[in-house]
Chains A and B, each alone.
Chain A
Amino acid sequence: MIDYSKLLTKRIQQVRPSGIRKFFDIANEMDDVISLSIGEPDFSTPWHVRQEGIKSLEMGKTWYSPNRGFAELREEICKFFDRHYHVQYDPKTEVLVTVGGSEALDLAVRCLVEPGEEVLIPQPSFVCYEPMAQMVGAVPVIIETKEKDGFRLTPEELRAAITPKTKLLVLPFPNNPTGAVMRKKDLEAIADVIRGTNLIVLSDEIYSELTYGDQPHVAFSSLPDMRERTIVVNGFSKAFAMTGWRLGYAMGPKELIAQMTKLHQYAIMSAPTTSQYAAVEAMRHGDADIVYMREQYDMRRRLIVDGFNEMNLTCFEPEGAFYVFPCIKRTGLSSDEFCEKLLYAKHVAVVPGSAFGNCGEGYVRVSYSYSINHITEALSRIHDFLKQLGC
């Protein structure tokens, strides 16, 4: 008998499996489940974008793309980023097209962080940052953001977490799961702390097009002195409802992008070709699609926040992404218990906040990338559930 645990690296065995999984296995077995758990757009990719992908297939454009991605796409990405966030990047040397934003995050961590160095990770946040740091032998240092601060990273908390070993700060805003957004003044306060340190910022801005209210998203690299120490990660999944196409990008100083490109070249080769042809169309002619989808999300966001507040599950008002993060402490249940009971009693699936870091305990993540009818039905079931609990 082979003892595989002796063959596998200690690092991978120490990485915890995602806590969300067990939960979905239960939900999958049930009929009639109303889910508010899925973290991707309910829209299909805009038709004109899909058509460009189809056209490229019809024309037999099925070869590899250059490692960095097609030059045409890199140019369009730079134009888009300049048009939306007013930061200029050189398409030849400062952009790398990746397999989703996730690959870009992984490349950045692997190229920048030495074993034993510290990676600062604000939580609650998406589940991948900690394992990525662990896989390079780095020390993940968790910064717990709080509801009273609107789940924003505060300069005080950041300053307190920095040590001589700190290499990288992950900046996951707009945030999954809380919906928190860092406005310009919040980012400036962070920049003030970072100026004069050797920190590199890995700014995961994948939800940048999904912010609500009159202030648009501010790219961290647009702040003075920050461009030279920031790797921006973004992509097509959330803005253009293109999750399945697996396409994202990283932008940053050419010295960093060059090394990330080397790793990408050996590990991945190049991002999917069909997706890149479609993405060119999205960047050129997709602005109106974004506006339409954002408006739809915004109406659902208001509806769902209102619904939770009505039930006295106080709900921090999210300003970005497509999640709300209501506090369930009032029920006396843990996040896990709440979700499990809700699933068994009312067949409604939401995700325990604790899946996004220990400080997510006492909250649940509810996605509103669902139709209005679906959301109202789920809200009414949750309402009944609370009544049954006597809350």
Chain B
Amino acid sequence: MDRLLTLLHENARLSNKQLAAMLDETEENISTAIADYEKQGVIRGYQALINWERVDTNKAIALIELRVSPKKNRGFDEIAGKVMSFPEVDSVYLMSGGYDLAVTVHGKSMQDVAMFVMRRLSTLDSVLSTATHFILTRYKESGVIMNQEEEKDERRDVYCD
């Protein structure tokens, strides 16, 4: 059923009936499989992929590099837990390489994000340093090209001039 996950990842709005037709399965099998995935925590949610820039030009998104000191026994989990509890934080990844946590933060403005980093993140106990990178344009996200004009079907029928 990996193909089911792939299809849902591409388009979570396909109905069970459509998924069943595409995968040559019964609707019952599809709905059972999805319920199982949800129960096992394989599927963690369904979201719309929104081009926020079209809705609100003031919205700011930043990628923040955090260098932190890991805690004995608990490693990075404790600090990661604290960081992800802020509603402003959209994603948190533990990274290899030059810094430890990559954090994306959404705010109403660049100022808003900067204040959040300064007041909330950099003041956390084990945070050694932060570097804030504002995202200027999102070209592609989760496999989707954000500017729909770039997705135009350029095929021309051979019978046309």
Contacts A24-B160, A299-B22; is A373 near B155 (CB within 8 Å)?
Answer: no
A residues near B157, Cβ cutoff 8 Å: 20, 24, 37-38
A residues near B159, Cβ cutoff 8 Å: 18, 20-21, 24
Judging by beta carbons under 8 Å apart, are B23 and A299 in contact? yes
Judging by beta carbons under 8 Å apart, are B22 and A302 in contact? yes
A residues near B153, Cβ cutoff 8 Å: 35, 38, 42, 370, 374
- Mask: chain B, 126-160; 1 = CB below 8 Å from A; 0 = not: 00000000000000000000000000010101011
Judging by beta carbons under 8 Å apart, are B160 and A302 in contact? no
Q: Does B11 contact A (CB under 8 A)?
A: yes
Interface centre among B11, B21, B24 (most CB of A within 10 A): B21
Q: Does A372 contact B (CB under 8 A)?
A: yes
Q: Does B58 contact A (CB under 8 A)?
A: no
Contacts A42-B155, A299-B7, A372-B10; is A306 near B21 (CB within 8 Å)?
Answer: yes
Q: Does A25 contact B (CB under 8 A)?
A: yes
Residues of B1-37 at the interface with A, using a CB-CB cut-off of 8 Å, are 3, 7, 10-11, 14, 17-18, 21-24
Judging by beta carbons under 8 Å apart, are A28 and B160 in contact? yes
Judging by beta carbons under 8 Å apart, are B24 and A302 in contact? yes
Contacts A24-B160, A40-B155; is A302 near B10 (CB within 8 Å)?
Answer: no
CA distance A138 to B90 in the complex (A): 70
CA distance A302 to B26 in the complex (A): 13
Interface centre among A302, A370, A374 (most CB of B within 10 A): A302
Task: Report how many residues on chain A are interfacial, defined by Cβ distance under 8 Å.
Answer: 24
Q: How far is the CB of A291 from chain B (nearest CB, A)?
A: 13
Judging by beta carbons under 8 Å apart, are B21 and A303 in contact? yes
B residues near A56, Cβ cutoff 8 Å: none
Q: How far is the CB of B76 from chain A (nearest CB, A)?
A: 37
Residues of A19-35 at the interface with B, using a CB-CB cut-off of 8 Å, are 20-21, 24-25, 28, 35
A residues near B14, Cβ cutoff 8 Å: 372, 376
Among candidates B18, B23, B160, residue contacting A376 with C-beta atoms closer than 8 Å: B18
Q: From B23, which residue of chain A is reached at the shortest CB distance?
A: A299
- Mask: chain A, 38-82; 1 = CB below 8 Å from B; 0 = not: 101010000000000000000000000000000000000000000
**14 pairs, CB–CB < 8 Å, chain A vs chain B:** A20-B157, A21-B159, A24-B157, A24-B160, A38-B155, A40-B155, A299-B23, A300-B22, A302-B21, A303-B22, A306-B21, A370-B153, A372-B22, A376-B18
- With A21-B159, A305-B21 given, can you name 9 additional A-B contacts, CB distance below 8 Å? A25-B160, A38-B155, A299-B3, A299-B23, A302-B23, A306-B17, A372-B22, A376-B14, A376-B18
Q: List residues of A whose CB falls within 8 A of some B CB.
A: 18, 20-21, 24-25, 28, 35, 37-38, 40, 42, 295, 299-300, 302-303, 305-307, 370, 372-374, 376
